[in-house]
């Protein structure tokens, strides 16, 4: 009996531990840090850095000494070579030795430089991916909070409408109001319920997107421990308008700079194909015969050699290769100049967007307060018989519209802030 009780207690605590593992309570900062560690896109970008490093070392290794060791066994099965007056037997033998070689050319040196640039670009891409993921987490976190706030507002509206419907229904029963008045409110209640359910489904989609960014399983519960009031700092967003745009902090600009450098190095690599290349080697060979008879050994034990390759004539292929690389470099310069100007224009546009979204937010915030007062006033008048059910319905519709506009304006400020922070590469 005691063993059974102990078993159930252990099962209970284990189940609690499993449930604890399947639910996360996160602040915005916690969510971003969790995404940096578990997001699969970031993991792939991190692997790209390691791949670039491995490729760089492979290219660098071609300029370093290469050593090979070999061993060969031969069996002539007692064969003798007939040389007229005498014969030479061909005994079994074992040959072993090693070769050390090194080859250096200008294209190899430039190749290593190209791999260094590729490694730098992989590092920048990793940072850019981390920035994009953390920004996406921030947007989704805010979106979830805003939708939860929307659901709360809609449920409050639904509660008010249900109270009005109950009041109207009682008035109908005593003959003060018409049934059509109650029917109009009931239709609005149904529409409100549908709107709430639709918003809840949209909220679940936001949570699913957040799970994907965090690298979580689909059934993992997420609890957001901060509210929109805790996070919403409109003053901080507006302060971005006073931040100077420094191009060299932008990741797209940094990648483009590296592309230009890469293209320029391609021209150098093609030019180096005109230059000579040199290769040196040392070879040691030892041959052991498995016989006591005198044998002829023509294999030198030590050998050293140097090879120099000088390109002379290629029917214009090297010239055209250099010309092609130069044209590609000019294209990159044009792209660089165009993108630089585009980033400057984009900064102006995003600043305009943030200014406009902030102004709209302030307007919609005040409008929602006013429309809420109007709705409350119309509801009181309706209860006193001084307003019709149509007035209540119209006022409720205006309130829902004002609340929706406020929520959208709030999200617009967040999105404009995130986009501008991304461009400025704000830490």
Domain assignment present for residue 413? The answer is yes
Domain assignment present for residue 200? The answer is yes
Question: Could you tell me the CATH number of the domain that includes residue 183?
Answer: 1.20.1600.10
Output the six-digit token pair for 64.
């370093």
Per-residue pLDDT of the chain (427 residues; tens, 9 = 90+): 445 444 444 544 444 544 444 688 999 999 999 999 999 999 999 999 999 999 999 888 888 888 888 888 777 666 666 666 666 666 677 787 888 888 888 888 888 888 999 999 999 999 999 999 999 999 999 999 988 988 988 898 888 888 888 888 888 887 777 888 888 888 888 988 998 999 999 999 999 999 999 999 988 999 999 888 788 777 788 888 888 999 999 999 999 999 999 999 989 888 888 888 888 888 888 877 766 655 666 677 888 888 888 888 878 888 888 998 899 999 999 999 999 999 999 999 999 999 999 999 999 989 989 998 998 898 888 778 788 777 877 888 888 888 889 888 988 988 898 899 899 987 6
pLDDT score, position 397: 82
Output the six-digit token pair for 40.
């699969």
Closest C-alpha among 189, 138, 182, 184 to residue 161: 189
Three-class SS of the chain: CHHHHHHHHHHHHHHHHHHHHCEEEECHHHHHHHHHHHCHHHHHHHHHHHHHHHHHHHHHHCCCCEEEEEEEEECCCCCEEECCCCEEECCCEEEEEEEEEEEECHHHHHHHHHHHHHHHHHHHHHHHHHHHHHHHHHHHHHHHHHHHHHHHHHHHHHHHHHHHHHHHHHHHHCCCCCHHHHHHHHHHHHHHHHHHHHHHHHHHHHHHHHHHHHCCCCCCEEEECCCHHHHCCHHHHHHHHHCCCCHHHCHHHHHHHHHHHHHHHHHHHHHHCCCCEEEEEEEEEEEEECCCCCCCCCCCCEEEEEEEECCCCCCCHHHHHHHHHHHHHHHHHHHHHHHHHHHHHHHHHHHHHHHHHHHHHHHHHHHHHHHHHHHHHHHHHHHCCCCCHHHHHHHHHHHHHHHHHHHHHHHHHHHHHHHHHHHHCCC
Q: With contact defined as beta carbons under 8 Å apart, do 226 and 32 qualify?
A: no
Between CA 422 and CA 131 the distance in angstroms is: 7
pLDDT score, position 84: 64
Domain assignment present for residue 100? The answer is no
Closest C-alpha among 220, 233, 164 to residue 38: 220
Distances, alpha carbon 161 to alpha carbons 191, 399, 405, in Å: 11, 12, 20
Domain assignment present for residue 248? The answer is yes
Closest C-alpha among 231, 150, 53 to residue 403: 150
Domain assignment present for residue 97? The answer is no
372 SS3 class: helix
Domain assignment present for residue 340? The answer is yes
Between CA 203 and CA 209 the distance in angstroms is: 10
Domain assignment present for residue 285? The answer is no
Closest C-alpha among 224, 234, 212, 233 to residue 30: 224
Domain assignment present for residue 27? The answer is no
Output the six-digit token pair for 32.
């971003």
pTM, 2 dp: 0.79
pLDDT score, position 364: 92
Q: With contact defined as beta carbons under 8 Å apart, do 254 and 67 qualify?
A: no
Between CA 227 and CA 274 the distance in angstroms is: 66
Q: Phi and psi of 69, rounded to 5°? A: -120, 135
Output the six-digit token pair for 316.
């214009």
Please tell me the total count of domains within the chain: 1
Between CA 197 and CA 231 the distance in angstroms is: 26
Domain of residue 248: give its range.
109-275+317-427
Q: Give the total residue count for the chain.
A: 427
């Amino acid at each position: 009996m005691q063993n059974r009780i102990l078993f159930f207690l252990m099962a209970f605590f284990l189940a609690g531990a499993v449930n604890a593992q399947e639910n996360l309570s996160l602040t915005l900062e916690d969510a971003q840090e969790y995404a940096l560690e578990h997001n699969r896109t970031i993991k792939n970008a991190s692997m790209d850095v390691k791949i670039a490093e491995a490729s760089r070392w492979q290219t660098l290794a071609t300029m370093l000494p290469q050593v090979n060791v070999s061993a060969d066994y031969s069996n002539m099965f007692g064969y003798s070579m007939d040389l007229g007056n005498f014969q030479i037997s061909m005994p079994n033998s074992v040959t072993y030795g090693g070769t050390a070689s090194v080859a250096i050319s200008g294209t190899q040196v430039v190749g290593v430089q190209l791999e260094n640039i590729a490694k730098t670009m992989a590092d920048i891409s990793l940072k850019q991916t981390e920035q994009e993921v953390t920004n996406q987490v921030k947007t989704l976190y805010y979106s979830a909070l805003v939708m939860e706030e929307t659901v709360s507002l809609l449920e409050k509206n639904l509660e008010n409408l249900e109270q009005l419907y109950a009041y109207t229904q009682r008035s109908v029963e005593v003959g003060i109001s018409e049934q059509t008045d109650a029917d109009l409110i009931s239709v609005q209640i149904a529409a409100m319920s549908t709107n709430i359910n639709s918003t809840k489904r949209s909220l679940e989609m936001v949570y699913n997107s957040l799970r994907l960014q965090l690298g979580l399983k689909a059934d993992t519960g997420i609890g957001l421990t901060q509210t929109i009031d805790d996070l919403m700092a409109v003053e901080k967003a507006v302060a971005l308008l006073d931040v100077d745009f420094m191009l060299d902090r932008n990741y797209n600009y940094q990648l483009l700079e590296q592309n230009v450098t890469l293209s320029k190095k391609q021209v150098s690599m093609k030019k180096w194909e005109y230059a000579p290349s040199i290769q040196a080697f040392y070879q040691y060979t030892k041959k052991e015969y498995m016989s006591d008879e005198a044998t002829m050994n023509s294999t030198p034990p030590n050998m050293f050699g140097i090879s120099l390759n000088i390109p002379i004539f290629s029917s214009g292929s090297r010239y055209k290769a250099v010309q092609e690389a130069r044209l590609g470099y000019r294209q990159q310069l044009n792209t660089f100049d165009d993108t630089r100007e585009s980033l400057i224009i984009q900064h102006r546009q995003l600043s305009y967007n943030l200014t406009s979204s902030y102004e709209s937010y302030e307007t919609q915030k005040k409008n929602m307060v006013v429309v809420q007062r109007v709705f409350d006033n119309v509801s009181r008048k309706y209860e006193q018989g001084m307003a019709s059910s149509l007035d209540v319905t119209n006022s409720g519709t205006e309130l829902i519209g004002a609340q929706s506009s406020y929520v959208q304006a709030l999200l617009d400020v967040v999105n404009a802030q995130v986009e501008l922070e991304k461009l400025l590469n704000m830490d």
